[in-house]
Structure formats: structure tokens, C-alpha cells
């Protein structure tokens, strides 16, 4: 079954708007001219002046019609571009995912709210497909991209995703939360390695429950985790999520042997582009903020210092 493409439909609407604007301008000039003749105000003028006014009116009508048409064409072309370009990008990303299994690609940012929401939904789906695809890869790949203990992405996976998000042509505002368990060595020494591993698994589970659908949680190594919050509409969202993550650890953790223990975490928060525009810069800023949170008493979050302060 054949049908019109979105571009052809929008071009038809574009032409309709332009012709409508031209017709409206011409109609207004005709009405004004007819009103002037009907009131006979123009008959008091010399014949030469009447002709000049008539020609001037015609020229004015043509100018107004032309300007109206050009303005309508410009606005409609801009509308056409704002709609079709994001849809073409989305189609290209979806086609690459379907044909080549390139789940790492993402739909770029759009200025149209509805298309932005559609792109975010598609990106969330690609995140899930990328994660599932990683789990279905051969063992060498799993070891290179996933943490075996928690099943979370590892540092390599996280840094690659962060770098890709930051390298977008229209990068979105995002945040990195650098998380570290407080006094984890004491837990390990007192309860043993198996219990310490269970603590890490429980910690990862509780952090995950506080995240949004599109956010990425990874284990960087040892008792260190990282969260990528993207997209980030407001800095308050990062602070709220950091508060929620810390509060999620207030309840005691229950170990497989039925023992329970209390654990806390410290969090460093770094925002892009305020605290860095490259993956290494942003992670380093978040790590510095984490160390500051620990120096201030642990069990809290601290935000990195801006790197773009005015001199």
C-alpha cells in the first residue's frame, strides 16, 4: 500500500500555509481598496493622483503578499526541519539497532518536547537491549564489560557509556554519582569475604531501586560504584537521588546466615558540564567530592567544585 511520506505531507501543509498567507494579504488590500472607492473619498483627487494611488495599492498588495508568502515559507520550513530531522535520526538509530545490533547508538536531543520524550523512550529501550546483549556475549566479553559478582556493568562499560554521552553533538545535562561503602574493610575483616560480597550485592540492589529508568549503575571495583544520571533536567534531581540512595541504606542489611548489620555510604556528585566535559574529568571530580564527603563525616553526599569559575 502506497501513501504519502511525512515530508510530503508537511510540504503540502507548508504550501497551504503560504498560499493562505498570500491570499489573506491580497484580500485585505482588496477590501481596503474597495472601501476607499465606495466612500468616494478618492474621487476628489486628480485623475493622475488616483492612478498613482491605484498603482501604489497594487504594488503594496504585491509586496505584502510576497512578504507574507516568504515569511510563511520560512516558518513552515523551520517547523519541517524541527520535526523531520529528529525523526530521521530516530529512524537511523532504530535501523542500526535492528540491522547491525548497534545498541550503543542513541537518539540525539530534540527541541520539540514530544519528540524529546519519544527519543528518551527509545534510548531507554536501547539501554536495556545493550545490557541484555552484553549478558548474551561470550565469556571473554562478559569479563571485559560486566561485574561478575553483582551482574552490573563494570568500569570499562561505564566509562565508555559516559564518554559516548558526553561526545554527542547535542550533549544533555547529566550527573555522575561516585559511591563508596563506609568502613567496608571493617565489615570484611569482621564478617568475612562471603558476607562482604553479600553486602555489596545488597548495596547494589538498594541503590538501583532509587534510580530512574534511564540511569546507569555500575560497579567500578571493590566497594566503589558509580551512577550516571542522564538526562538531567535539574541539578536538584541529582541531589534528591543522592539523598534517597543514602537513606536507602539506613535499614540494616540481612546476611544469608541471618545476621544483620548496618552499613552506610558516601557519595560524590559531579555535574556535566559544570564539573567536567570529558569522562575522566567528570569521574575525577566526582571522586574528589566523594573524598570530601568522607572527610566531613561519611554517610552523606558532597558536590564537586565547579571547574569553570570566572577568573
Catalytic residue among 127, 147, 223, 274: 223
Q: pLDDT, tens digit, for every residue of 48-65?
A: 665 555 666 666 666 766
Asked if 226 and 179 sit in the same domain, the reply is yes
The domain tally of the chain equals 2
Question: Among the three residues 95, 121, 136, which one is the final residue of a domain in this structure?
Answer: 136
Q: pLDDT, tens digit, for every residue of 271-299?
A: 998 898 889 999 999 999 999 999 999 99
Question: Among the three residues 136, 156, 180, which one is the final residue of a domain in this structure?
Answer: 136
Reply yes or no on whether 234 is catalytic.
no
Phi and psi torsions of 102, nearest 5°: -90, 80
- Indicate the average pLDDT of the chain: 77
Asked if 164 and 295 sit in the same domain, the reply is yes
β-strand pairing of 265-272 with 301-303: parallel
Q: pLDDT, tens digit, for every residue of 76-118?
A: 666 667 776 777 777 777 777 666 666 666 667 666 677 677 7
The pTM of this model reads: 0.61
For residues 207 and 181, is the Cβ–Cβ distance under 8 A?
no
Q: In the beta sheet, which residues pair with residue 218?
A: 226
Asked if 72 and 42 sit in the same domain, the reply is yes
In a domain, 42, yes or no: yes
In a domain, 308, yes or no: no
What's 253-288 look like in SS3? EECCCCCEECCCEEEEEEEECCCCCCHHHHHHHHHH
Amino acid 22: pLDDT? 65
Give the structural domain span for 209. Answer: 139-303
Question: Among the three residues 105, 136, 167, which one is the final residue of a domain in this structure?
Answer: 136
Q: pLDDT, tens digit, for every residue of 117-165?
A: 777 777 667 666 666 665 555 544 445 678 889 989 999 889 988 988 8
Q: pLDDT, tens digit, for every residue of 219-245?
A: 999 999 999 998 888 889 999 999 999
Amino acid at each position: 500500500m502506497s501513501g504519502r511520506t511525512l515530508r510530503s505531507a508537511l510540504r503540502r501543509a507548508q504550501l497551504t500555509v503560504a498560499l493562505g498567507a498570500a491570499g489573506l494579504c491580497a484580500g485585505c488590500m482588496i477590501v481596503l481598496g474597495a472601501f476607499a472607492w465606495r466612500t468616494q473619498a478618492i474621487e476628489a483627487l486628480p485623475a493622475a493622483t488616483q492612478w498613482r494611488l491605484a498603482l501604489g495599492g497594487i504594488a503594496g498588495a504585491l509586496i505584502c503578499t510576497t512578504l507574507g508568502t516568504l515569511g510563511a515559507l520560512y516558518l513552515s520550513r523551520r517547523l519541517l526541519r524541527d520535526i523531520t530531522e529528529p525523526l530521521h535520526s530516530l529512524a537511523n538509530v532504530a535501523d542500526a539497532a535492528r540491522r547491525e545490533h548497534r545498541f550503543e547508538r542513541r537518539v540525539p536531543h530534540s527541541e520539540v518536547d514530544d519528540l524529546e520524550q519519544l527519543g528518551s523512550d527509545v534510548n531507554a529501550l536501547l539501554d536495556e537491549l545493550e545490557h541484555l546483549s552484553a549478558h548474551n556475549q561470550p565469556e571473554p566479553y562478559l569479563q571485559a564489560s560486566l561485574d561478575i559478582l553483582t551482574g552490573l556493568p563494570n568500569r570499562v562499560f561505564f566509562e565508555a557509556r559516559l564518554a559516548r554521552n558526553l561526545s554527542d553533538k547535542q550533549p544533555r545535562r547529566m550527573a555522575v554519582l561516585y559511591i563508596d561503602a563506609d568502613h567496608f574493610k571493617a565489615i570484611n575483616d569482621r564478617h568475612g569475604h562471603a558476607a562482604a560480597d553479600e553486602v555489596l550485592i545488597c548495596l547494589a540492589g538498594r541503590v538501583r531501586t532509587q534510580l530512574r529508568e534511564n540511569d546507569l549503575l555500575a560497579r567500578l571495583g571493590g566497594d566503589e560504584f558509580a551512577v550516571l544520571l542522564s538526562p538531567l533536567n535539574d541539578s536538584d534531581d541529582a541531589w534528591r537521588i543522592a539523598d534517597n540512595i543514602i537513606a536507602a541504606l539506613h535499614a540494616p542489611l540481612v546476611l544469608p546466615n541471618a545476621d544483620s548489620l548496618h552499613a552506610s555510604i558516601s557519595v560524590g556528585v559531579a555535574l556535566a558540564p559544570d564539573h567536567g566535559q570529558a569522562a575522566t574529568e567528570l569521574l575525577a571530580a566526582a571522586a574528589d567530592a566523594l573524598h570530601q564527603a568522607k572527610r566531613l563525616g561519611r554517610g552523606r553526599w558532597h558536590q564537586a567544585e565547579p571547574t569553570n569559575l570566572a577568573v
